[in-house]
Amino acid sequence: MAVLLFCISANYSQIIGSNLFLKGQFVEVGINQCGAFGSGSLPPAADDFHANPGLTGLGFVADWESDGWDTGTPDYCGDYFVPGTPVEGWQVQIGATTWINTDQNCFPDEIPGDVAEYSYSGGVYTGTWEGSIASADLSITQITTLPEDKLYFVTRILFCNDGDEPLEDVYYMRNVDPDNDQPWSGDFTTDNEIVYQPPADEQALVASEGLTYGCFLGLGARDTLARVSYGNFGTGDGDPEDVWNGTGGYESSGSEVGDIATSIAFYIPVINPGECKCVAFAYILNISDLEEALEATVTYNLTANDVSVASGGSYTICNPGDPVTLEVLGADDYLWTWTPSEHLNIDTGISVIATVDETTTFTAVGVGGFCGDATINVTIYVDNDEFSDAGLDEDICIGSSTTLNGNGGSAEDIYLWSPSLGLSDPNIANPVASPTTTTAYTLTTYDTLGCPAYSAVLVTVNPLPNINAGANEAICVDGQIELEATGGVSYVWTPAIGLSNPNIANPICTVDDETIYTVTGTDVNGCVNTDEMTVTVNYLPEVTATASPYTIDVFLDETTQLDVTTGGVIFSWSPVDGLSDPNIQSPIAQPQDTLIYTVTVTDAQGCVNTDTVVVYVIGELNVLLPNAFSPNGDGVNDYYYPAVSGSGDLEYYAIYNRWGEILFENSAPNTADGSNGWDGTWNGKEAEVGSYVVIARAKKSFDDAVQSINGTFVLIR
């Protein structure tokens, strides 16, 4: 290989043979022909590099305190690579196949390539290495940049698929044995720690610190596809997938003190034909530059509305016309052109705004960047699959509940009801709703693409009806009353005993004992309430009607005082004939004929009862003496006896013949048929036909006065 010498003395950057040297104010770097940091020869002394005395090349060194290369303890840190058994290199893995380029002597050197160029612009030194894996149609470009006044340098690796088949499961790893302050202390051990690790963190960083002077080395990237580890030693002790997974002797968390390597790996799921993918990492030589160095590793990343999207990926909008800001991050050095230009506010630049009504794929082509020309594809998917159904509006009564019937379409496990007040669980399809006031519940559901849909259901809370069973009532035994419920449209009375119909508002009640009735009323909304009332049963007043004197016999035109024994308060006598006042308890009666008086008594509870009393009206005592009789056994006038009318009784009568002899006498009351009268015989023989004399005596019942009367009669045969 011809040796080319390029020298720019002002910038101290040059290619000497197959080695490239970068020199900043505080950091110096050597790159060899296999892309490892560790030159195969020393840098030119004329350019005042600071390779450690006795070493055969330059890895990287740092004036870590920025106080001058010959000041401090030690004067500077490093060399981080060349001492002892120098280890710094890299691997590429595609599927299960790996290729290794490593160490100062480039052994192994399985990826052919060479340093290609260097440049200086805007205070940044740049060195480029180019190579390829022919069997995989993969070209690799390594671009290392060293800001002239910083304590870090960044390396970008560009992978381009030059073949016709996609390259899947691509890994890249970088490996270094730190030896931070060994040239000054002789100690190869370092304190190694995993500081950041995706996916828990958005960046990856493994840090090493010398045990004697505390010289610092960080290896990291701000990339969620990066992983860091420590362990093993040589670059070929494991493969990139082991570094990525923290297996095969590599540790992906914690810390360890030892003479061991630190590594970083990147995973690229696929590189399609004609596509390039870029990764970047930084070696950081002072912890104060850590944040800036990690930020400098960001390669171009596409975001849609600030959400990272891989090339060939998609971003979903939930409504046609929703604006989407497409932005390429970490690619300010590219010139970007976007197609199709329709639906874009502009079609050039790192940021555009897309407004689409249907699913559209946009392509961004970038040229002129560190990572080479780039193509990014993104599809904006317009989602029309959102669905939310909160169900039909519901009516409930206060104090009751209803089950909502939500339907969320395809993603039926995501439900958000709001407000949550009154719900058994706001995150299920069918919560039980028990609001105390009318409430509109909004159901938010999400489809499989995460787009929300909204619907609402109104739960109307109706008040309970004001059911009124009516006032308490009192009835009399055997009485009835009409109950009257109000406030509803249907009713049920309990108990049903004594009611004409327990399922109407106004049943007739004929209960015999005091009863508490409960009425359950339902209104037009189906809401139910109850009320109760009491029906008290009053017994009828006891009524006994009398007259004075007790015999209740009066002579015509005489009077008697009626009376009633009772607890009543209202009296009514009927008929009113002969009464002094029919509406008092004890009226004076003077009937003209025998009458039956009925008294109707009402007590304080309104209960009514009746009784009767007979007032017999009788005339003067009158004794009637028959003037003939015929005792012939024909059943007619076979006996002779005086007849009495009026107020009194027959006490005695005697029958004489014309000679004055007593033929018959009797002091017993007449029988009904008169058979105890004279039968027309004397001394066992029939008396003669002829005239006879009768003498009778009677007593008035009113004043016991005795009345005597005599007369004659004829016996006829």
80-130 tens-digit pLDDT: 877 767 899 999 999 999 999 999 999 999 999 999 999 998 888 999 999
Distance CA 677, CA 668 (A): 9
Neighbours of 543 (CB within 10 A): 20
Parallel, antiparallel or unpaired: strands 226-230 and 216-221:
unpaired
Average pLDDT estimate for 619-645: 89
pLDDT, position 298: 77
Tokens of 83: 């001492």
pLDDT, position 11: 46
What lies within 8 Å, CB to CB, of 282 at 6+ separation is 152, 153, 154, 155, 218, 219, 220, 221, 293, 294, 296, 297
Average pLDDT estimate for 215-219: 97
pLDDT, position 308: 77
In Å, the largest CA–CA distance within the chain is 211
Tokens of 462: 């109706």
Summarize pLDDT for 152-201 with one digit per residue, the tens: 999 999 999 999 999 999 999 999 999 888 888 889 999 999 999 999 99
pLDDT, position 641: 93
Q: Mean pLDDT of all residues in the chain?
A: 90
Summarize pLDDT for 652-663 with one digit per residue, the tens: 999 999 999 999
Choosing among 3.30.420.10, 3.40.640.10, 3.50.50.60, 2.60.40.10, the CATH entry for 544-618 is: 2.60.40.10
pLDDT, position 413: 67
Average pLDDT estimate for 305-329: 89
Average pLDDT estimate for 564-587: 90
The angle formed by the CA atoms of residues 160, 241 and 297, to the nearest 5 degrees, is: 55
DSSP sequence for 208-219? EEESSS--EEEE
Domain topology for 394-462: Immunoglobulin-like (2.60.40)
CATH 1.20.1510 at 622-715, yes or no: no
The angle formed by the CA atoms of residues 255, 257 and 259, to the nearest 5 degrees, is: 125
pLDDT, position 5: 34
Choosing among 3.40.50.300, 2.60.40.10, 2.60.210.10, 3.90.660.10, the CATH entry for 307-382 is: 2.60.40.10
253-272 b/e (C-beta count within 10 Å ≥ 16 → b): eeeeeebbbbbbbbbbeebb
Q: Which residue has the tokens 């108990």?
A: 495
Q: Which residue has the tokens 């039926």?
A: 412
The strand pairing partners of 173, in sequence order, are: 91, 265
Banded pLDDT at 409 (limits 50, 70, 90): low
Alpha helices in 228-385 (DSSP H): 240-245, 290-296
Summarize pLDDT for 376-399 with one digit per residue, the tens: 899 999 988 888 899 999 999 999
High-pLDDT (> 90) share of the chain, %: 68
Q: Per-residue pLDDT for 3 more than 70?
A: no
Average pLDDT estimate for 233-247: 97
This model's pTM is above 0.75:
no
pLDDT, position 4: 34
Tokens of 693: 């004399």
Average pLDDT estimate for 508-527: 95
pLDDT, position 300: 72
pLDDT, position 108: 93
What lies within 8 Å, CB to CB, of 384 at 6+ separation is none
Q: Per-residue pLDDT for 238 more than 80?
A: yes
CA dihedral 501, 505, 510, 512 (to 10 degrees): 100
Distance CA 282, CA 698 (A): 160
Q: Per-residue pLDDT for 2 more than 60?
A: no
Choosing among 3.40.605.10, 1.10.3720.10, 2.60.40.10, 3.30.830.10, the CATH entry for 473-538 is: 2.60.40.10
Contact 176, 262 (CB under 8 A): yes
pLDDT, position 402: 96
Q: Please, where in the chain does CATH 2.60.40.10 lie? A: 307-382, 394-462, 473-538, 544-618
Q: Please, where in the chain does CATH 2.70.98 lie? A: 5-296
Q: Per-residue pLDDT for 372 more than 70?
A: no
Banded pLDDT at 438 (limits 50, 70, 90): very high
Domain 5-296 CATH class label: mainly beta
pLDDT, position 158: 92
pLDDT, position 594: 84
